């Protein structure tokens, strides 16, 4: 059966350029039922040498060094944005005006107003859009969503999440440039709040509903760093660490912490949700497992159980190996591509859309504002 091609124009060839491209390359083999298939048409980056090398290594048919030229091409259907956060708005808005579909890396934008312009652009153009909050698509996290939606947990009292890293403790690390743009407030918008807590907030809203108000504490431990762009030592404008408390609209209480200064932790994303009847917890370092405590289990046998989310009946798993065999981080991106293509076929939105992802941006902005004012802030 011949499939309908979806011609991809990827902007950015860094870490996310690789994860997304891997998703496009794997999806047809593992989701053969899809009638649309991605085609690696072109990759775009500012450095010609690096862009050309990436296109050859990963199998793109061509490359561009100017995103406007990429967007203007008639043979491109969808623009995938894998560049630093300050470029998400201009690329998305130009792509929407040209009628292209858009898949944008998280967070949607540096700020809520910037995100609002992006939402207006895609809605006016009527183009398909999504933001890559990939952790939703890990089978254990999707299973948590199914269990919560079934009502099994009863009334929810608590939601807590952490995202801990340790890669910026070295004061000699510069701000700006490849990878390190995450330390430059002008490029990133914020530090751990937009980079890491955004993941936790996206998952939390998806699992537990909207957040109404927040109170936060933020800290910048290293106040000055060499700026790669200017060659000068400059003030650091990002939050290195952030912790916040919040109320969810369903009446439950939230507690979130993120830092790049938790020595020993590389990407420890964990969440736990406690209801009157059951609790769930998940840990990215053991991503195939979902832990559950069910109070309706018989008394003496009651306790936390660990569900190995690798059976054919578990979300996405019938597309992979045989029961009991694990999958990894990269599969979440394959799943996001599969879900985007399926949504296109069905004429439905692929969550989180720009509009839904704006909710996460609003919580991030409220958290940053509260970190400055030391007051509760409504979202």
- Site for ligand SOE, rule CB under 6 A: 165, 195, 199, 267
| Closer Cβ to ligand SOE, 110 or 247, answer by number | 110
**β-pair type (101-105, 78-81):** parallel
**β-pair type (304-308, 278-283):** unpaired
As measured in angstroms, the least distance from the Cβ of 14 to ligand SOE is 10
Beta strands in the chain (DSSP E): 4-11, 36-44, 62-64, 78-81, 101-105, 129-132, 156-164, 211-219, 224-226, 233-235, 241-248, 253-259, 268-275, 278-283, 289-294, 304-308, 377-378
CB atoms within 10 A of CB 353: 18
As measured in angstroms, the least distance from the Cβ of 195 to ligand SOE is 5
As measured in angstroms, the least distance from the Cβ of 105 to ligand SOE is 8
Residue nearest to ligand SOE as judged by C-beta position: 195
As measured in angstroms, the least distance from the Cβ of 273 to ligand SOE is 20
d(CA 200, CA 351): 16
| Distance of alpha carbon 349 from the chain centroid | 17
| Distance of alpha carbon 156 from the chain centroid | 24
| Closer Cβ to ligand SOE, 100 or 106, answer by number | 106
As measured in angstroms, the least distance from the Cβ of 251 to ligand SOE is 30
d(CA 359, CA 121): 17
As measured in angstroms, the least distance from the Cβ of 227 to ligand SOE is 19
Q: Phi then psi for 203, rounded to 5 degrees?
A: -65, -40
Three-state secondary structure readout of 172-189 = CCCECCCCHHHHCHHHHC
| Closer Cβ to ligand SOE, 43 or 183, answer by number | 183
| Closer Cβ to ligand SOE, 76 or 131, answer by number | 131
β-sheet with 62-64: strand ranges across = 62-64, 36-44, 4-11, 78-81, 101-105, 129-132
Look-up: residue for tokens 């470029």? 87
Cβ(189)–Cβ(84) below 8 Å: no
| Closer Cβ to ligand SOE, 193 or 279, answer by number | 193
| Closer Cβ to ligand SOE, 165 or 353, answer by number | 165
| Closer Cβ to ligand SOE, 156 or 187, answer by number | 187
**β-pair type (129-132, 101-105):** parallel
| Closer Cβ to ligand SOE, 199 or 314, answer by number | 199
As measured in angstroms, the least distance from the Cβ of 165 to ligand SOE is 6
- Residue 301 DSSP label: G
As measured in angstroms, the least distance from the Cβ of 84 to ligand SOE is 10
- Tally the residues of the chain: 379
- Which residues have CB under 8 Å from 186's CB, separation 6+? 86, 237
As measured in angstroms, the least distance from the Cβ of 267 to ligand SOE is 5
As measured in angstroms, the least distance from the Cβ of 23 to ligand SOE is 14
| Closer Cβ to ligand SOE, 195 or 234, answer by number | 195
| Closer Cβ to ligand SOE, 96 or 103, answer by number | 103
């Amino acid at each position: 059966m011949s499939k309908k091609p979806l011609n991809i124009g990827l902007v950015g060839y860094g870490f996310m350029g690789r994860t997304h491209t891997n998703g496009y390359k794997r999806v047809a083999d593992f989701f053969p039922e899809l009638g649309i298939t991605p085609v690696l048409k072109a990759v775009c980056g500012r450095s010609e040498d690096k862009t050309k090398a990436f296109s050859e290594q990963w199998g793109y048919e061509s490359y561009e060094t100017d995103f406007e030229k990429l967007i203007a091409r008639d043979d491109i259907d969808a623009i995938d944005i894998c560049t630093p956060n300050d470029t998400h708005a201009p690329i998305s808005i130009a792509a929407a005006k040209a009628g292209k579909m858009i898949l944008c890396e998280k967070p949607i934008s540096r700020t809520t107003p910037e995100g609002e312009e992006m939402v207006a652009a895609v809605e006016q153009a009527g183009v398909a859009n999504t933001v890559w909050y990939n952790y939703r698509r890990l089978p254990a996290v999707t299973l948590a969503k199914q269990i919560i939606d079934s009502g099994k947990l009863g009334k929810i009292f608590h939601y807590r999440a952490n995202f801990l890293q340790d890669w910026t403790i070295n004061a000699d690390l510069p701000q700006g440039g490849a990878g390190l743009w995450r330390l430059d407030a002008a490029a990133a918008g914020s530090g751990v709040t937009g980079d890491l807590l955004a993941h936790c907030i996206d998952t939390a809203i998806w699992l537990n509903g909207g957040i109404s108000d927040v109170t936060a504490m933020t800290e910048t431990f290293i106040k000055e760093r060499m700026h790669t762009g200017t060659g000068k030592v400059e003030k650091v404008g990002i939050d290195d660490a952030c912790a916040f408390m919040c109320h969810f609209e369903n009446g439950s209480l939230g507690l979130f912490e993120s830092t790049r200064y938790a020595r020993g932790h590389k990407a420890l994303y964990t969440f736990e949700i406690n209801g009157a009847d059951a609790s769930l917890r998940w840990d990215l370092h053991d991503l195939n497992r979902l832990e559950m405590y069910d109070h309706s289990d018989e008394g003496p046998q009651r306790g936390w159980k660990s569900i190995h989310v690798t059976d054919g009946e578990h979300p996405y798993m019938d597309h992979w190996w045989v029961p009991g065999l694990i999958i990894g981080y990269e599969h979440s991106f394959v799943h996001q591509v599969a879900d985007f293509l399926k949504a296109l076929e069905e004429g439905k939105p692929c969550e989180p859309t720009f509009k839904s992802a704006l909710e996460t941006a609003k919580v991030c902005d409220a958290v940053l504002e509260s970190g400055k004012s030391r007051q509760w802030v409504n979202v």
